[in-house]
Chains A and B, each alone.
Chain A
């Protein structure tokens, strides 16, 4: 394709091709500090393309393609090309990656141990991970956490963090503006702005961490902590995994071990400060 870039996030090497220069330029800026290995072939392909040649210029709309596609997915306007690229990358990982069990969860690590946060979008898992990652935690990822079926370790997928709506101002107040991408206003997922993870988090992206605490955050409402049984955590994580079924017995074994070895809690919190205090407290008291 006319414009292209290669990006490695965690264990996945992407190649992304585009009919337009803009999305690639935006990706180049976000991923400039990520390690580059030109000798490494790509595991996954993403294509950003115009359905008809004239739609490159005339009301340009970006279709998301690649090794795996979602049939009938709506295209995005060119101004949201970066979001299209992000969705395309997520899709290839969610549907194509088999080396690890994928959890739709954010994660941060400290001293080689990981705290994994799973929840629907809007639960605040990304925001919590981003804010913790600005403190003394290593950000492992805001979207996927990878579990090694053999040993049970968590692996990072530290793509550029996708900040949404209120979280944008909250994080922007604390970080250098050079680490923020352009504001994508009014996307189907609300306002979006990307945050480049700290260089230490990117440099450590291949280092595994031992899962030590599982959280199921819920943003809004009074501060509350609810211990969660193995069964419920198991069922919730099967729903949060995009390849649990495809992994078969290995997926079952990995998930069973995770919920047996790691304490799990549901938490509610009214604002980020309370959320951070809550997870720090739980980490100090219960993390294994």
Chain B
């Protein structure tokens, strides 16, 4: 069995880690690193009886992830201190939000940039305040800069000059030119308090954003991690709120994200063994391409199916912008090579 499947089975607790041979571990650890999920796996197997060297490596990963999460939340606090005095409130997105809300997917989850969501009419002031507080632009290319400002759902990325950490300031969750236009105002106005001093999306919106980010925006790079987020958050939300799946449907419809949300749920069922409610528990022949893309890694952590990878890359652009614009964009990018 391929290592990426073993990784998925270990996460889903379908496979007993004691049955893995040393060479199986080599590839599972390598693939988990490639998917940025080694610390997640380390948490999932925290109580398992493992070989001493694997147990030691996993303990390192859990400790490191804890430190990294603390640093990520500190970065969120820095943004809050820069923006709150001017009355700008933001909603935390993705990894930092999961950590702030103490969700189970946060255990061991790698957090890259700080992602925040502000109201569209606050975006200029947000940018100015962050620049004053020590963040700087990363993109020096005028085309890229203009592209972000005109067409994207976020400002060009900024990096803090002292702490060397990136911030992505969103005003919505999909590019402006995307075929789907989520209701950004509803996302912000229906946000909830995380418990810590931050706002996060409400449960249904959080799952919508997770699915949109994974299936409507990107090319499924890091898809297993995003799917794990989706799986564990919907499982936990449904456990405390029996009406959750219905609410998720309603919010997905509001944002135009019913397709991606339903697909994410089916993929979570197929890979991680999610239990879905009646209306959701269907088959879609196209899902197999997504499953294949998610599992396209060999035992050395390399992407195995470059054609499929390329196809999903093209698909992500196809969804992101209308054809004429896409042609112009690719032409400009190609000339700059």
| A interface residues (Cβ-Cβ under 8 A, vs B) | 1, 13, 15, 17, 38-43, 45, 47, 49, 65-67, 96-99, 246-250
Bound CA–CA A40/B23 (angstroms): 8
Bound CA–CA A39/B300 (angstroms): 18
B183 touches A (CB below 8 Å): no
Interfacial chain B residues near A45, Cβ < 8 Å: 26, 29-30, 33, 300-301
The answer, among B22, B34, B301, for a CB contact under 8 Å with A41, is: B22
Asked if residues B26 and A39 are in contact (CB atoms below 8 Å), the reply is no
Asked if residues A246 and B301 are in contact (CB atoms below 8 Å), the reply is no
B61 touches A (CB below 8 Å): yes
Bound CA–CA A170/B68 (angstroms): 44
Binary CB contact string for chain B from 1 to 37 against chain A (1 if under 8 A, 0 otherwise): 0000000000000000000001101100110011000
Asked if residues B29 and A41 are in contact (CB atoms below 8 Å), the reply is yes
Asked if residues B67 and A248 are in contact (CB atoms below 8 Å), the reply is yes
Asked if residues A250 and B29 are in contact (CB atoms below 8 Å), the reply is no
Binary CB contact string for chain B from 54 to 76 against chain A (1 if under 8 A, 0 otherwise): 10110011011001101100000
CB of A79, distance to nearest CB on chain B (Å): 24
Nearest chain-B residue to A251 (Cβ)? B67
Binary CB contact string for chain B from 172 to 194 against chain A (1 if under 8 A, 0 otherwise): 00000000000000000000000
Interfacial chain A residues near B29, Cβ < 8 Å: 41-43, 45
Asked if residues A41 and B54 are in contact (CB atoms below 8 Å), the reply is yes
Asked if residues B57 and A1 are in contact (CB atoms below 8 Å), the reply is no
Bound CA–CA A91/B57 (angstroms): 17
B51 touches A (CB below 8 Å): yes
CB of A144, distance to nearest CB on chain B (Å): 16
Nearest chain-B residue to A249 (Cβ)? B67
Asked if residues B300 and A17 are in contact (CB atoms below 8 Å), the reply is yes
| B interface residues (Cβ-Cβ under 8 A, vs A) | 22-23, 25-26, 29-30, 33-34, 51, 53-54, 56-57, 60-61, 63-64, 67-68, 70-71, 300-302
CB of B80, distance to nearest CB on chain A (Å): 20
Bound CA–CA A98/B33 (angstroms): 14
Q: A41-B23, A45-B300 known; 15 other A-B pairs, CB under 8 Å? A: A13-B53, A39-B51, A40-B51, A40-B53, A41-B26, A41-B29, A41-B53, A42-B25, A98-B63, A246-B68, A247-B64, A247-B67, A248-B67, A248-B71, A250-B67
Interfacial chain B residues near A40, Cβ < 8 Å: 22, 51, 53
Can you list 25 A-B contacts (CB < 8 A)? A1-B300, A13-B53, A15-B26, A15-B30, A40-B22, A40-B51, A41-B22, A41-B23, A41-B53, A41-B54, A42-B25, A43-B57, A45-B26, A45-B30, A67-B34, A97-B60, A98-B60, A98-B61, A98-B64, A99-B56, A246-B67, A247-B67, A248-B67, A248-B70, A249-B67
Interfacial chain B residues near A248, Cβ < 8 Å: 67, 70-71
CB of A88, distance to nearest CB on chain B (Å): 13
Interfacial chain A residues near B51, Cβ < 8 Å: 39-41
The answer, among A17, A41, A96, A246, for a CB contact under 8 Å with B25, is: A41
Bound CA–CA A66/B29 (angstroms): 12
CB of B299, distance to nearest CB on chain A (Å): 9
Interfacial chain B residues near A13, Cβ < 8 Å: 53
Asked if residues B64 and A246 are in contact (CB atoms below 8 Å), the reply is yes
Asked if residues A47 and B300 are in contact (CB atoms below 8 Å), the reply is yes
Bound CA–CA A98/B60 (angstroms): 6
Interfacial chain A residues near B54, Cβ < 8 Å: 41
The answer, among A39, A66, A246, for a CB contact under 8 Å with B22, is: A39
Nearest chain-A residue to B50 (Cβ)? A41
CB of B184, distance to nearest CB on chain A (Å): 32
Asked if residues B53 and A47 are in contact (CB atoms below 8 Å), the reply is no
Nearest chain-A residue to B51 (Cβ)? A41
Bound CA–CA A97/B38 (angstroms): 13
Interfacial chain A residues near B34, Cβ < 8 Å: 67
Interfacial chain A residues near B57, Cβ < 8 Å: 43
Bound CA–CA A17/B299 (angstroms): 11
Asked if residues B302 and A47 are in contact (CB atoms below 8 Å), the reply is yes
Bound CA–CA A47/B53 (angstroms): 22
Bound CA–CA A99/B29 (angstroms): 16
Interfacial chain B residues near A39, Cβ < 8 Å: 22, 51
Nearest chain-A residue to B39 (Cβ)? A98
Asked if residues A67 and B67 are in contact (CB atoms below 8 Å), the reply is no
Bound CA–CA A246/B61 (angstroms): 12
Central interface residue in B23, B61, B70, by most chain A CB within 10 Å: B23
Interfacial chain A residues near B61, Cβ < 8 Å: 98
Interfacial chain B residues near A97, Cβ < 8 Å: 60
CB of B61, distance to nearest CB on chain A (Å): 7
The answer, among A15, A67, A247, for a CB contact under 8 Å with B33, is: A67
Bound CA–CA A113/B303 (angstroms): 46
Asked if residues A99 and B33 are in contact (CB atoms below 8 Å), the reply is no
Asked if residues B300 and A99 are in contact (CB atoms below 8 Å), the reply is no
Asked if residues B26 and A67 are in contact (CB atoms below 8 Å), the reply is no
CB of A203, distance to nearest CB on chain B (Å): 19
Interfacial chain A residues near B64, Cβ < 8 Å: 98, 246-247
Interfacial chain B residues near A250, Cβ < 8 Å: 63, 67
Bound CA–CA A47/B56 (angstroms): 24
Asked if residues A42 and B63 are in contact (CB atoms below 8 Å), the reply is no
Asked if residues B301 and A67 are in contact (CB atoms below 8 Å), the reply is yes
Interfacial chain A residues near B25, Cβ < 8 Å: 41-42
Bound CA–CA A284/B224 (angstroms): 57
Bound CA–CA A96/B22 (angstroms): 20
The 8 lowest CB-CB distance pairs between A and B, nearest first, are A41-B25, A248-B67, A98-B64, A67-B33, A45-B30, A98-B60, A42-B26, A99-B60
Interfacial chain B residues near A249, Cβ < 8 Å: 67
CB of B320, distance to nearest CB on chain A (Å): 22
Interfacial chain A residues near B56, Cβ < 8 Å: 99
